[in-house]
Every structure is written in C-alpha cells, then in structure tokens.
Chains A and B, each alone.
Chain A
Amino acid sequence: MSDVPLNPGDAVRSPPRPRTRRDAQFDRIRDREAARQGTKLRGGRFLSKFLNNRLAVVGLVIFASIILLSLAAPLIAQHDPKSPNLRAMLDPPSAEHWFGTDRTGRDIFARVLYGGRVSILVGLGSALLSALIGVVIGVYSGYVGGWLDWVAMRISEIFMSFPQIILVLLLVAILGQSLLNLIVIFTLTGWGGIYRMARARMLSIREEEYVQALRSFGLGPARIAYKHMLPNALGPIMVNITLSTAAFILQEAGLSFLGLGVPMSVPTWGNILNAAQDLRLLENAWWVWLPVGATISLFVLSVNFIGDGLRDATDPSQQG
C-alpha cells in the first residue's frame, strides 16, 4: 500500500469507495441516535424506556387483561356467581364450568371474574390512596422538618399503633359493612408506612448539594420537595405500592372471613380463597383454590413488574 499517497487532497479526488454492509450499519446507528435526540420531551423518553423493558410490558399486558376480564365479567361468565346449584357441588373443571364449582355449586370461573372487581378496587385503590397521602405528607414534612415533621410523625404513630381490628370494628359499627369501609381502613392504617419511607428518603436527600443549591436560589420548599427531590425517592415508593397492593388483597380476605369486610356472599378473591380453607378441599378439589391463587399471584406479579418498569424508566442513569 506504499503507493497510496498520504495526502488528504487525493482522497477527495479518488472515486468514492463502494458502500459495504458496515456503512449501512453505521448509518442505522446514526439514525437511531438522531431519533433519540429528537425525543427531547420527557414523556416520550419515559414511555419509550418503559416499553423497551420487556418484563414491564408483560406486566402491563397481564394487568390490563385481568382488569378488562373483570370489568367484562357479565359478558364472559355464563353463570351467576352467587346462585348455588345443588346438583353440581364440587364439580371438577369441565366445558360447562371452566374452573369447576365450589361446595355450594357456584361457578368458580364466574366468581373469580366478579371477585376481581372488588379485590382489585380494594387492593390497588387502597394502595394508591395511602401512597398518595403518605407521599404528599412525607415528602414535604421530611424536607422542611421542624414542628410540622414532629406533628406528622406523631399522627402516623397513632395510626400505626392502632390495632387494625379495632379500627375495623369501630367503622363497621358506625358505617356498617361495606367495600368503602375496607378502603378507608386500609388507607388509614397503611399510609403511615409509605409516609415514613418517603420521609426517610427525603431526610437523606435533603443534605445533597443540589438541594442546597436550589435553596441558595431561594426556591420555595414545596417546589424543591415535590419537583426536585421526589423523583429521586420514587424507586422505593413504587416497590412499596406494589407490595401493599398484594398485602391489601390478602387482608381483605382475612377481614371478610371474620365477617367484617365484604359480605361472604359477595365474591372476592379473598372470599373464594377462604372458602377453600379445608383440608379435604385442599387435597381433593384443587380447582377451588388453584385458579384463584394463580390469579392473585399473577396480578400481584404484574403490579410488581409494572412498578419495577416505572422505577427504571424514571431513573435516567439506566439507558433506554
């Protein structure tokens, strides 16, 4: 190659070299980079990162299907979830009863579908509501500290030290048995945990120098706390929401079993599972507990995946 002159001018005059596969590859990379620079909007970047996370998308699909199926229960289920059928008690799964029937001959498939409505509302609703309260209070009081923080802390301690069962009895005595009660109770007893976690995160972020810098500009505490600090505390909050969703779904079952939650006749995932608490059923009639259990697990898992995906999508140091 010694006869090739090392002169940049010659290179310009020489005919263009044929394009190779490498070139095409580089072009594609450059296009992609340009495209990513185009998505300057935070929302666009956030969404594309979330959708690039395979588990999160799987979670979203499962989550959406379970909710849609529950909402469309009257269209899908061919049986009434509440009416017993004494001629078909504990039937195994068949073409007629997809998930079999329970001890009083009610169609389990229909019960799981209808049950999802209540359970998801209670579980997800209470988790989101308590997260909302806990985060709104914890983020602000953790940042500003002082007497406000002291008062919020004492209040949360009061709520957390109340035995849940007493609160439940109290509310049931006053308002009667209802679904709303459950959400109120779970929110009242549940917000303290998220509040404390959000507060603790804020206490550690508060000393970071970027927060000091914002203060040195005289920005208001609400703006610093909610806009600039909260995004950095989101990870553990997401995880907490997914965990408490699962916990609330199971707790609903416990309270309903005691006759304090939703009436036993109303199908909920918890009620269905409770009905299977019998050694004979566990051993001989797997269809009474397995489909519900699997549905609950799937749902909780999907919420988990979504939470993880959201957390990763909000973390800019993870490439999307």
Chain B
Amino acid sequence: MQPSEPILRLRDVHVHFPIKGGVFKRTKDHVRAVDGVDLDVYKGEVLGLVGESGCGKTTLGKAILQLVRATGGSVTYHGDAGETELTTLDDAGLFPFRKRLQIVFQDPHSSLNPAYTIFGSLEDPLRHYGVRSRAERRKIVGDLLEAVNMRREAMDRYPHEFSGGQRQRIGIARALSIEPELIVCDEAVSALDVSIQAQVLQLLMDLKREKQLTYVFITHDLSVTEYLCDRIAVMYLGRIVELCDAEELFANTLHPYTEALLSAIPVADLDRKSERIVLEGDVPSPVNPPSGCPFHPRCRYAQDVCRTDVPALRPYRTAAGGEHLAACHLIDQPPAD
C-alpha cells in the first residue's frame, strides 16, 4: 500500500532523561532514550517499530502521545484542521488531540486498575469526553467488549479474574473507547503465548479495517512485523537505522543491524539460507553512546570511518521505485539524492 498523507510527523525528536546524583541532586548526565528521530506516520498504515530491549521504543511511543515530553524536536499532528505542534501544548491544549491518539500497553498485568471493575476503569474516560448518562456508558463499554470478542458481562468483573489475553483485549477496548485515529500498540502481544498472540493480532487487523485506524506497532519480534506491517522502522540506541516497506526490508536488507535481527528469526523455508549472525556484546549504554555509528562496537563490518563519523539516515532507491532509508557508511550503492 503506497502511503497517502501523513497523520503524524516527527522531526529530530529527542527524549533525554536526567540522571540525578551527588549531594545536591544535580543532574549528572542524561539517558538518551530517544536521540534524534525523524519519522512520518501515514494515514491508514501499520508502521512497525522494532529494536532490542532498551532501545527507546516505548519512550518514543509515549513521546508521540505526550506522556513523556520530548526534550527536543517536534511532533506535529496532521488533522482536518491543519497541522498542530503537540510538544508545546499544555494539558488543556492537548485535550482535543488526546482523543485522536491512544496506546495499548506492553504488560497486561499492570495495564488495568486492580481496584476497579472493568466498567469502573473504562467509564471515566467516557465521562470525561462527555457521555453523561450511566446507562449510556454501560452500553458503550458493553459494545466495546463485544467488539473485542468478549462478553458484555465482563464489565462487572475485576481485572484479576481475566487471563493475560483477555486483559490485553480489554486494553484494546479501552484504547478504542474514544474512537481514536492512531493507536500505538506497545508490544501489545509480546507477553502472550503464541496461539493467543495470533488471536489478538487478528483482532487488531479486523478493527483496523472496520474503523480505518492507523497503528504504530512496537515490537522486538521481527517475525510478527512481517505478517502485519506495511512499513518497518528499525531502532538502535534511540535512533532509526533503517526504514522502508516491509517486503523491501526482508528482501533487500541494507543495515548490518537489521541483518543480524533478521538472521535471528527461525526460518521454516529450507531454501532460504539461514546463517545466524550472533551479535556480540551488550547493547551499549544510552548514557554514553559510542562515538561515530552507535552500532560499530558490535558490527562485524565496522571500519575506521564508523568509529568517528555518525552516519546520516539516507534514502536509497528500491527495485520497485520506493524509498529505502538506512544509516550506514558501508552501503555499496549510491544514495538516491
């Protein structure tokens, strides 16, 4: 699917968390959780965001929703009423955009309030968005639960009475409750076992078709993205290192990091050669990222230039004529511009 118009545009987004220490609690250093991300999300697409644990995926997702504030760069929302810069808005100003953007969380065990029934948890946002009568709220919550293949009666139960898969579906119902346009799914299926994963993924895809949703689908599992993403962005240490259409990424991998990630997927296809590239060493600390290319200490092709210069994210031509962005010094084709 060729992208239409953007719904969200990220430019040079930074999220640095201060590390406080010492006697006077001064800021000693920063965790560069997100370190300069440029990204467009197009209406109606599923954008996969993959990368190892700790590379800043969740933080980027939260920065999109303004749950953590970007310390630099811009996040613009493109709606019917034109473009709006979200990072400078206060809570009151954000209110109309909260309705457009929602999130489904990683951990089904902490994503629902244990002290309230499902209805008790889900009704407050509805009330906040102007559904005054309790009967109507009950009807809406019931409909939402049915939309995620659960029984209406589930609304009067407490979270501990549900399995992980059920809770995740309730989390999806909650995100849907105010009819958003874009949903950030933060590892929405990672905590579930495989058969339940497939169910929930199917549900997400059905809902997307029904309600014309856009997804930013965060995961550390590339095999899931192949099945449902239109485009995939690969993140490493707070930066995007490769970004292109899903088929293109699997057919024509440019970045050595992506190559290593792909080699870790177990293949059923006997023809495909599967040499497992084992990444050596740990993910470097986002407090002191390596000089030059952040991936060079673990890269098996690394050369001198990689140790000194930071590679820019440059576009390359694809066979199909699309765009393929990658940040690596050693790609042996000329960039498209």
Listed in ascending order, the chain A residues whose CB lies under 8 Å from chain B are 37, 40, 42, 208-210, 212-219, 223, 227-228, 231-232, 314-317
Shortest C-beta distance, A144 to chain B (Å), equals 11
14 contacts between A and B (CB under 8 A): A37-B156, A213-B171, A213-B175, A214-B124, A215-B67, A216-B67, A216-B98, A217-B128, A218-B95, A228-B121, A228-B124, A231-B116, A316-B114, A317-B158
List residues of chain B with CB within 8 A of the CB of A42: 120
Interface string of B109-152 (1 = CB under 8 A from A): 01111111100110011001100000000000000000000000
Q: Using Cβ atoms and an 8 Å threshold, which residues of chain B touch A219?
A: 124-125, 128
A216–B124 CA distance with the chains assembled, in angstroms:
12
Closest residue on chain A to residue B177 by CB atoms? A217
* Cross-chain contact B94 with A218 (CB below 8 angstroms): yes
| Among B115, B128, B174, contact of A231 (Cβ-Cβ < 8 Å) | B115
Let me know if B20 is at the binding interface, CB within 8 A. Answer: no
Task: Please tell me if the beta carbons of B115 and A314 are within 8 angstroms of each other in the complex.
Answer: yes
Contact B111 A316 (CB under 8 A): no
Are B115 and A217 in contact (CB-based, < 8 A)? Answer: no
In the bound complex, what is the Cα–Cα distance between A215 and B105 (angstroms)? Answer: 13
B156 touches A40 (CB 8 A): yes
A316-B115 in contact (CB<8A):
yes
Verify A218–B113 contact, CB threshold 8 A: no
How far apart sit A87 and B114, CA to CA, in the bound complex (Å)?
64
Question: Given A218-B91, A232-B115, A314-B115, is A213 in contact with B124 using a C-beta cutoff of 8 Å?
Answer: no
One of B102, B112, B116, B160 near A216 (C-beta < 8 A): B102
B residues 165-210 touching A (CB-CB < 8 Å):
171, 174-175, 178
| Distance A75 CA – B99 CA, assembled complex (angstroms) | 64
Q: How far is the CA of A232 from the CA of B160 in the complex (A)?
A: 14
Write out the residue numbers on chain A whose beta carbons fall within 8 Å of the beta carbon of B115. 228, 231-232, 314-316
Give the complex CA separation of A214 and B121 in angstroms: 9
Cβ B124 vs Cβ A223 within 8 A: yes
B156:A210 contact, CB within 8 angstroms: no
Contacts of B117 in A (CB 8 A): 316
**Residue of A with least CB distance to B157:** A316
